[in-house]
Structure formats: C-alpha cells, structure tokens
C-alpha cells in the first residue's frame, strides 16, 4: 500500500472514533481531533508528557488511578491531589481545587465513571468542574475508559459536552465497554471547539510525540469501524445486566460484614471503595496488613486502599464470574469473623465504639 492509501485508511479509522464520540455531543468532532494509542494508558502517558514543563504541577484525584500518577512523576510534574468526597457520591472537592491551583497548574484529571470509586458524575457536577477549570485557566483531562458502564440512576455524561466552556482531552479505549482488554487500542481526543489547544500547539505536540511512540496494531485498527458502528445495543445491555447482578450481590454481602463500611453504592465502572473499621478487628494494624493476611489465609486478593490514595480503605472489583464473586465474598466474611475483636465488656460499649468510628 502506498503512502496515500495508508493515510486514507488512518483517516477512516479516526473518523470512526470521532463519529462514535460525537453521538453524545451537540457538536461534531473531526478526525483531526482523534489520535489512536496503545490503549488508554498510552493515551494518558502521551497527554501528560505533552502538557509537562519545568515547574508545572497537575491536579489528580484521591482516590485515583496510580498509573496516571506514575506518568506525572516520570515527567517531573509536581502532583497535587484533591479529595473525592465519599459522603457526596465521590464528587470532586471543588473548593480544594481552587485553593491548590496556581499559575503553574497545567491540568486537572477526572475519572468518570470512577476508578476506583465507582462514581458516576451528574451533568450539574461536571458543569461545575468545567466552570472551575475555566476560572483557573487549566485543561481538563477526562479518563472515560469506563464510559457508559453505569448501573444506577445517573446516566453517563461525557466531559466533552462542556468543551465550549473549557478545553477537554478525552481518554478512552475499547477495552472496557466492549470487554476486549487485550486488544490494546485506545484514543486521545482533543475536544476544543474554540481552538485553544491548537493555538497553544498542544495538538501539534501530540502529533510529533506519537511519531516516535508505539502504534496500535494495524489489524486492530482495521476492526475499529466495525466495532464502533456495528456493536448492537443488545450486547451492551447484556453486559450491564451481568455487571449489575454482580454489583448487587457484592453490595448486599459486604453489608453483612461489620468491619466493612460502604459509604456509597457504586454506580459505574468495575469497582467499589469500602472503609475498614479497624476497631472491630484484632491483630490487624492497617489496610496493607489486612490484605496481606487475607491473601495468605484465604488466597483472596484485594487491593489495599493506600495504593490508590486512601489508607485503611479497600478497593474491590465485582467484574468477575458470579460464582467466583460469591466464593470470594464468603472467604472475605470468614476472614473478618476470624479476626473480629472479642469484646469482654458488657452492655453497649462495643456497639458504641463502632457507631463512634462510623460517625
């Protein structure tokens, strides 16, 4: 194939992604806004490398996705973490955003639907995020790799819907919604109707950097138009129903374990963040020790919350086979019962202690 034929095919692939994402928008994305990457991770890596400069900082959510933090550290960006508020559905603490931002802040990252929080942000909250970013003069990087994987009352709303307010760089891939994680095909999309990213030469920098970066396999690229255009709603509905069923049993079984507190039922993605009540456990000092002993005693792996920014929390997934999930939750319950603190006090002292911790 000659150069012109190859260029035509690439534009065809980019058009497929642009058309797919434009379905949710009041404006149309151009193929020139789309960059194909080796999965969503490379999209995040490229974005952060392009925005990095000496003395700059970036705002990342806590809890968050560790790989994004690693890319920022590698590119010598100062990391400033803002809290997600579990009591408010893991919404962004916008007051903290304004307080920690300065003239060297280049971007803020949001993950929606949330990994690891399981949140799904409302239109109003995303609008407030956009207005805050516009006020601060920063770009919003929207990791939407779990886009449309929602189970509650809040629909998925793309951050690019607010690109007329603030420039948005959307990250995504086929790995989650289409359940093909090994294919390694993602995208980085500049959602910027006002053209600010092109004026600042961000788009040009992305192009230059991608020339020297690994590219998605050509065969996988060739499948993209069919995947995005021909996948039926029936496939998506079956996937959501399976995950919703898993979520319900996970949520119900976790509520039966006294030492685990669930501040917010997950509404999207594959994960739940739950808090450990260590006062109800003996011989366990923190989330790391909890997870290490759980792995040793029950051959069950759960991620300690400290690895995603929240000490003495746990990040759990319900995206496993139903029977395996039931078995794992049973092992977790047995472990917690075995390590439960044996109170010798009479009356309501133990109960009072638990209530005090939860409030």
Q: What is the pLDDT of residues 129-186, one digit of tens each?
A: 999 999 999 999 999 999 999 999 999 999 999 999 999 999 999 999 999 988 889 9
CB 273 within 8 Å of CB 287:
no
The mean per-residue pLDDT over the stretch 302-313 comes to 98
Q: Is the pLDDT of residue 358 over 80?
A: no
Q: What is the pLDDT of residue 127?
A: 98
Give pTM, 2 decimals: 0.92
* Average pLDDT over every residue of 77-99: 96
| Phi, psi dihedral angles at 152 (to 5 degrees) | -105, -155
């Amino acid at each position: 194939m000659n150069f012109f034929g190859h260029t035509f095919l690439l534009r065809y692939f980019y058009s497929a992604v642009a058309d797919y994402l434009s379905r949710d928008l009041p404006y149309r994305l151009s193929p020139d806004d789309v960059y194909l990457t080796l999965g969503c991770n490379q999209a995040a890596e490229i974005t952060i490398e392009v925005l990095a400069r000496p003395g700059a900082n970036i705002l990342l959510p806590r809890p968050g996705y560790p790989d994004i933090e690693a890319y920022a550290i590698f590119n010598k960006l100062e990391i400033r973490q803002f809290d997600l508020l579990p009591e408010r559905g893991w919404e962004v603490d916008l007051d903290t955003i304004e307080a920690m931002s300065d003239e060297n802040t280049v971007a803020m990252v949001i993950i929606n639907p949330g990994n690891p929080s399981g949140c799904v942000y409302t239109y109003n909250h995303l609008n407030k995020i956009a207005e805050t970013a516009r006020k601060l003069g920063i770009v919003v990087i929207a990791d939407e790799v779990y886009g449309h994987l929602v189970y509650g009352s809040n629909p998925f709303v793309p951050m690019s819907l607010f690109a007329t307010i603030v420039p948005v760089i959307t990250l995504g891939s086929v790995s989650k919604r289409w359940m093909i994680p090994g294919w390694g095909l993602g995208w980085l999309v500049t959602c910027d109707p006002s053209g600010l990213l092109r004026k600042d030469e961000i788009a040009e920098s992305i192009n230059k950097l991608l020339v020297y970066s690994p590219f998605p396999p050509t065969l996988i690229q060739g499948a993209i138009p069919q995947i995005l255009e021909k996948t039926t709603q029936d496939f998506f509905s079956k996937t959501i129903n399976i995950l919703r069923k898993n979520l319900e049993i996970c949520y119900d079984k976790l509520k039966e374990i006294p030492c685990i507190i669930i501040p917010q039922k997950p509404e999207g993605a594959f994960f739940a963040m739950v808090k450990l009540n260590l006062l109800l456990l003996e011989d366990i000092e923190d989330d790391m020790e909890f997870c290490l002993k759980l792995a040793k005693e029950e051959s069950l792996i759960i991620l300690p919350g400290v690895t995603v920014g929240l000490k003495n929390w746990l990040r759990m997934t319900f995206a496993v086979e139903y029977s395996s999930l039931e078995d794992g939750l049973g092992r977790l319950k047995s472990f917690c019962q075995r390590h439960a603190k044996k109170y010798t006090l009479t009356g309501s002292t133990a109960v009072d202690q638990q209530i005090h911790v939860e409030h």
